[in-house]
């Protein structure tokens, strides 16, 4: 058992707040947009809007099938369904790696595209094999890099393998939304433009939500938000699933949070100025360096714990980690304890898309039930990471003896 950790002063380890100052600063290297160089990139209000636009570009619709990983957020699945395509799931193992054999056997005459997710900033080990498979079978490869901004592997930069690739910025930086669609396949002849203005509620939500959360509380504010969206005719999820969602609610599967479902106000909408301008202020190299350093501190500080283990213990060269994912015996209890500090932590990807049956994917259930993510963002330093690790050690030391073994691989 770990020795109890001595009390120490409270340290703020929350998600960084949006800063008006970043709207006016400029990074000498061009910021986040500079990282894309001369690639064919179009900027959208959110990554999910870019996913729907990718489906239009690839002419995916009624009668077509897209193969997607069973371990998913659900927010990326809904735009695929909104395109009119059917989605068939394939297996991902407990280390978040694609089961290539399972993927290959699910290809049917209707299959037109394969959707691949890079998790937590780590490149899918089988991405080149999937790319070869797509070329051999004349399929499109849609590469989801929403969790893999700035990462690369020995085979190349994430986002360069797919015919199209998707990025998200608000997961890595304190900005109001922001997504990107990159076209790698020159044969598509793309000239993508997100020509609709971003919804007005985006900036209002970002800057006023903390104020209203203090007044109403998080749960009541969430209920008010959903009620208002439905009243305005922008219900994010059709009741009972229905044809628009692609089917009926699957019995025994907890549903996604309502805001994960696609809001039609986002379709073809461009990136907000509250994302575009701040993104020019952040230094990419510095962000990568700090995230990797913080990840290493967690690996050092959390080694040897019996009820907590890193999901991805090998920080490979080129990885820019989104967060530090762990497998925890009492995941929900640990998350509550950290948030009480408060420390930003997330019970990762709760719920299942209501239109898809995930009952056969036991490894997906394992991940959804046991993964907790810890912050490694570039606004944290080593002292703060050590503080988070110490709170975890304190929690572990107070756990009952029969709950100290982390779930297995």
Alpha-helix runs per DSSP H in 302-361? 331-339
246 within a domain of the structure (yes/no): no
Q: How many domains does the chain have?
A: 2
329 within a domain of the structure (yes/no): yes
What letter does residue 18 receive in the DSSP assignment?
P
Rounded Cα distance, 157 and 39, in Å: 12
Using one digit for the tens of pLDDT, what is the confidence trace for 52-92?
999 999 999 999 999 999 999 999 999 999 999 999 999 99
- 181 and 290 share one domain: no
Confidence check: pLDDT of 231 > 70: no
Rounded Cα distance, 391 and 361, in Å: 33
Q: Which domain holds residue 289?
A: 283-403
Rounded Cα distance, 151 and 144, in Å: 12
Tokens, residue 306: 């019996």
Q: Which comes out higher in pLDDT, residue 221 or 21?
A: 21
Using one digit for the tens of pLDDT, what is the confidence trace for 156-188?
999 999 999 999 999 999 999 999 999 999 999
121 within a domain of the structure (yes/no): yes
369 within a domain of the structure (yes/no): yes
pLDDT at position 200 is: 79
Last residue of a domain, one of 188, 208, 237: 188
Report pTM.
0.89
* CATH number reported for the structural domain that contains residue 142 in this entry: 3.40.640.10
Using one digit for the tens of pLDDT, what is the confidence trace for 368-392?
999 999 999 999 999 999 999 999 9
Last residue of a domain, one of 130, 163, 188: 188
Contact 163, 58 (CB under 8 A): yes
328 within a domain of the structure (yes/no): yes
Contact 261, 7 (CB under 8 A): no
9 within a domain of the structure (yes/no): no
6 within a domain of the structure (yes/no): no
Over residues 11-17, the mean pLDDT reads: 79
* CATH number reported for the structural domain that contains residue 334 in this entry: 3.90.1150.10
Over residues 267-278, the mean pLDDT reads: 94
Last residue of a domain, one of 166, 188, 210: 188
Using one digit for the tens of pLDDT, what is the confidence trace for 116-128?
999 999 999 999 9
209 within a domain of the structure (yes/no): no
Rounded Cα distance, 319 and 321, in Å: 6
């Amino acid at each position: 058992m770990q020795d109890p950790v001595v009390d120490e002063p409270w340290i703020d380890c929350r998600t960084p707040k949006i800063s008006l100052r970043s709207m006016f600063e400029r990074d000498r290297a061009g910021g986040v947009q500079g990282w894309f160089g001369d690639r064919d990139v179009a900027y959208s209000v959110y990554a999910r809007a870019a996913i729907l636009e990718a489906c239009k570009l690839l002419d995916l619709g009624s009668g077509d099938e897209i193969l997607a990983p069973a371990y998913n957020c659900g927010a990326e699945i809904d735009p695929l369904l909104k395109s009119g395509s059917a989605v068939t799931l394939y297996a991902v193992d407990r280390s978040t790696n694609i089961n290539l054999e399972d993927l290959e056997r699910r290809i049917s005459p209707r299959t037109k595209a394969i959707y691949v997710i890079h998790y937590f900033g780590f490149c899918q080990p089988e991405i080149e094999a999937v790319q070869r498979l797509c070329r051999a079978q004349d399929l499109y490869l849609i590469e989801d890099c929403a969790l893999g901004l700035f990462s690369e592997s020995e085979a190349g930069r994430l986002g360069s393998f797919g015919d199209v690739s998707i990025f998200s910025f608000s997961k890595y930086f304190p900005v109001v939304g922001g997504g990107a669609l990159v076209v790698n396949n020159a044969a598509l002849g793309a000239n993508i433009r997100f020509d609709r203005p971003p919804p007005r509620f985006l900036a209002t939500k970002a800057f006023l939500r903390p104020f209203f959360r203090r007044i109403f509380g998080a749960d009541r504010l969430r209920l008010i938000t959903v009620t208002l969206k439905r009243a305005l005719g922008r219900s994010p999820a059709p009741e009972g699933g229905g044809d628009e969602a692609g089917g009926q609610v699957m019995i025994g599967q907890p549903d996604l949070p309502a805001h994960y479902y696609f809001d039609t106000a986002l379709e073809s909408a461009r990136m907000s100025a509250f994302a575009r301008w701040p993104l020019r202020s952040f230094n990419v190299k510095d962000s990568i360096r700090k995230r990797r350093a913080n990840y290493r501190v967690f690996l050092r500080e959390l080694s040897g714990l019996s009820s907590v283990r890193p999901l991805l213990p090998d920080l490979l060269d080129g990885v820019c980690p989104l967060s530090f994912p762990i497998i925890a015996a009492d995941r929900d209890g640990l998350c509550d304890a950290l948030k009480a500090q408060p420390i930003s932590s997330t019970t990762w990807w709760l719920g299942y898309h209501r239109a898809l049956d995930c009952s056969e994917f036991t490894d997906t259930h394992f991940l959804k039930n046991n993964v907790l993510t810890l912050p490694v963002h570039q606004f944290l330093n080593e002292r703060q990471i050590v503080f988070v690790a110490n709170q975890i050690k304190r929690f572990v030391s107070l756990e009952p003896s029969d709950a100290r073994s982390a779930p297995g691989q």
